[in-house]
Structure 1
Amino acid sequence: MPTLNYLSLLILSSVLLTACSKQVQNEALSNDSRATQITQEGVPGGVATQVEEINAVVSAINYATSSVTLEDAQGHQRDFKASSEMIDLQRLKVGDKVNATVVLEQMIYLRDTATASTDSAADILATTPANAKPGMLVAESVEIIAVVKAIDTTQQTATLEFGDGTRKTVKVRPDVQLKTEHLNRQVMIRLSSALAIRVQPE
Structure 2
Amino acid sequence: MKKGLISVLVFVMAAVMVMGCAHTNGTEGSTEGSGIVRGEVAILKAQVVAVDLDKRIVTLKDAAGDVRDFKVGKDAVNLPQVKAGDIVTIKFLESVAVEVIKPGMPAGAGGATTIVRAKPGEMPGGMITRQSSITAVVKALDKEAGTVSLMGPNGKTVKVKVQERENLEKVKLGDELLITFTEAEAISVSRPE
Q: What is the CA–CA distance in structure 2 between the aligned matches of 1:140 and 1:45, rounded to whole Å?
A: 20
Residues 1:116 and 2:121 are matched in the alignment = no
Other-structure match for 2:129 = 140
Other-structure match for 1:52 = 43
**Which is richer in strand?**
2
Other-structure match for 1:6 = 20
The amino acid of 1:181's aligned partner reads: G
Other-structure match for 1:12 = none
Q: Larger radius of gyration, structure 1 or 2?
A: 2
Task: Give identity over the alignment, percent.
Answer: 15
Q: What is the CA–CA distance in structure 1 between the aligned matches of 2:39 and 2:116, rounded to whole Å?
A: 21
Other-structure match for 1:25 = none
For residues 166 and 60 of structure 1, do their structure 2 counterparts lie closer, same or farther at Cα, with a shift above 3 Å needed?
farther
Q: What is the CA–CA distance in structure 1 between the aligned matches of 2:156 and 2:51, rounded to whole Å?
A: 41
For residues 96 and 107 of structure 1, do their structure 2 counterparts lie closer, same or farther at Cα, with a shift above 3 Å needed?
same
Deviations 1:14-44 (A, max 9, x none): xxxxxxxxxxxxxxxxxxx954334116734
| TM-score (ref. length: structure 2) | 0.61
**Aligned residues of 1:61 and 1:93 also touching (Cα < 8 A):** no
List runs of 5+ in structure 2 lacking aligned partners: 1-14
Other-structure match for 2:10 = none
Instruction: State the secondary structure of the residue aligned to 2:66.
Output: coil
For residues 39 and 121 of structure 1, do their structure 2 counterparts lie closer, same or farther at Cα, with a shift above 3 Å needed?
farther
Deviations 1:148-184 (A, max 9, x none): 33221222311234549472422152332141232xx
122-131 vs 92-101, greater mean Cα deviation: 122-131
Q: What is the CA–CA distance in structure 1 between the aligned matches of 2:98 and 2:54, rounded to whole Å?
A: 39
For residues 141 and 201 of structure 1, do their structure 2 counterparts lie closer, same or farther at Cα, with a shift above 3 Å needed?
same
For residues 82 and 144 of structure 1, do their structure 2 counterparts lie closer, same or farther at Cα, with a shift above 3 Å needed?
farther
| TM-score (ref. length: structure 1) | 0.59
For residues 142 and 125 of structure 1, do their structure 2 counterparts lie closer, same or farther at Cα, with a shift above 3 Å needed?
closer
Instruction: State the secondary structure of the residue aligned to 1:37.
Output: coil
Q: What is the CA–CA distance in structure 2 between the aligned matches of 1:47 and 1:83, rounded to whole Å?
A: 35
